[in-house]
Amino acid sequence: MAGSGSGGGSAEQRSPGSGSSRVSMAAAVVAEAPVLWRRLLDYLPRGRPALAALFGRLSDRLTRGRERRARRSSWLLLAPLLSPTIPQLTAPPCCLCPEGSHRFQWIRNLVPEFGIASSHVKVLSSPTEFYELMKGQIKTAKRRVVLASLYLGTGPLEKELVDCIEVALERSLQGCGPSNLRVSILLDYTRGSRGRKNSRTMLLPLLQRFPEQVRVSLFHTPNLRGLLRLLIPERFNETIGLQHIKVYLFDDNVILSGANLSDSYFTNRQDRYVLLQDSPEIADFFTELVDAVGDVSLQLQQDDTVQVMDGMVHPYQGDKTAYCEAANRRVMEVINSARTRQELLHTQTFHSNHAEGGIPLSKDPKAAADRQPEPDTWIYPLIQMRPFGIQIDEIVTETLLLEAERGASVHLTTGYFNLTQAYMDLILGTRANYQILLASPEVNGFFGAKGVAGAIPAAYVYIERQFFSQVCSLGQQERIRLQEYSRRAWTFHAKGLWLYLAGSSLPCLTLIGSPNFGYRSVHRDLEAQVAIVTENKALQQQFHQEQEQLYLRSSMVSASTFEQSSRYVQLWVKMVTPLIKNFF
């Protein structure tokens, strides 16, 4: 089963128009780099010179500081992606160049960069606020409603959400001429089909009544096929791979979150949520991304059957390599075309605002008022789809961890603490301070579950204790701290990262979206999050308060934590966890 989890990695990322000469030039960038970095280049998807250039940039910095690095402590070699440490950064926090470039601008070599005003960003704090906002946004939507989630629940709150969509569609038909409102819903096939009453049965009435306006796509991982698909029972088959992206979009407003469309996520399951208002370019990108994944998914029909789109390879009956390559092309087309559009827009905006010598082209007050405000916040969509050979989120996250300098502070949170080995080694081997927030057993989503699933919280305790032991054995307790979230009658599902640069009390970057930083997020599932970089103090304060509110409900982990009765882990769980940890 472990093999099936990474079997889709043969698909390559291709960049339209990338020739062999460009790849060769990118390879030359790291030709003089240390052996470890040259090995990394071999693992990069072919036809992605930007990724090679990124590693070339890092290797250049490594090479220049070789003599100083030789004197550094040898324990830094723990990190498999880490040649000895990079020279310490001296740039001031989020320093801006004349063109508005910031220290994280290298991310735009991989994905589109969307510059917006910070006033368009709002941080939500509670499940109720998230739910009420979604209902209100659906009711007022005129052109599009796009919902991407793992699944849609079957309770009264979920029914109310579906009713809001129905009302919006009914209203759209009352006008003159054809309706402009389109509804696109992307869910996971296995999770959305679980049980007799499920996500599919919840959405069938919409599909039957508004067949021209509603599309329901069900992603089926290509790694669940053949005998494996026949033998693994319902629920357990979800461990092989899922559609895990969470994006909720209404006209030009976008909510990025880790929350699913289920009652607990609307009431007492803590997550994170960011609203991007009046952001048409970002909304267009995520609409196109959901459409792309929808195109390679199974299409729900009015009789509750599913079909592939015309001309598309079947995800589990067709050739796996052909399917993954087709999916890669479809998704990368969205990423690359958006990146090209944004680069062109950036160039046009810059030249329209500046004449030769930096003097504005127009001094007309009306023209100046009509012009969009200069962006002080940048949004980078980070996509991770290892089954299709797309590893952008993984590369960006590892690079952020690698480049976090001494004195910087990284707050990282996940509802399921099961970091990849690469992430763990980077945290242990770099110089920044880390505060990692995770779920105590009582707020784990599997706490009290029946059968084998009931042992999952204990497995997470075992993984947590192993990592804590590593931290202690390296004498890193002051630099790396674990904290457990606890809240009576609530569960914890928040995930993300806040980066505080050295000398700053406010974060200038946050990651928010669906990834849990674990093995399945990196290798098995389809994931998406955004990196939000801002120089605006008010927005930085919003992110800081969000982080503080989450961490306020936590307690510090120490050796005595694992002596509590609630942290007891049975022997069979300890024996099985190393064998199954790559599946949860």
Q: How far apart are CA 495 and CA 553, in angstroms?
A: 15
Residue 48, token pair as written in the block: 């992605």
Bridge partners, residue 526, by sequence: 243, 385
End-to-end CA distance of the chain: 13
The DSSP line for 456-510 is HHHHHHHHHHHHHHHHHHTT-TTTEEEEEE--TT-EE---EEEEE-TT-SS-SEE
Q: How far is CA 274 from the centre of its chain?
A: 13
Q: How far apart are CA 238 and CA 115, in angstroms?
A: 37
Q: Is 381 helix (H, G, I), strand (E, B) or coil?
A: strand
Helix (H) or strand (E) holding 210: none
Q: Which of 256, 269, 275 is nearest to 126 (CA)?
A: 269
Residue 126 dihedral angles phi and psi, to the nearest 5°: -135, 155
Catalytic residue from among 102, 246, 346, 544: 246
Kindly give the residue spans of alpha helices, DSSP state H, lying in 152-198: 156-173, 189-192
Residue 125, token pair as written in the block: 């704090």
**Is 246 an annotated catalytic residue?**
yes
**Amino acid sitting at position 529:** Q
Residues in the chain: 584
**Is 251 an annotated catalytic residue?**
yes
Catalytic residue from among 251, 291, 295, 304: 251
Q: How far apart are CA 256 and CA 259, in angstroms?
A: 9
Catalytic residue from among 102, 120, 220, 244: 244
Rg (the chain; Cα; Å): 24
Q: Quick check: 400 and 499 in contact, CB under 8 A?
A: yes
**Is 319 an annotated catalytic residue?**
no
Q: What is the DSSP letter of 212?
A: T
Catalogue the active-site residues: 244, 246, 251
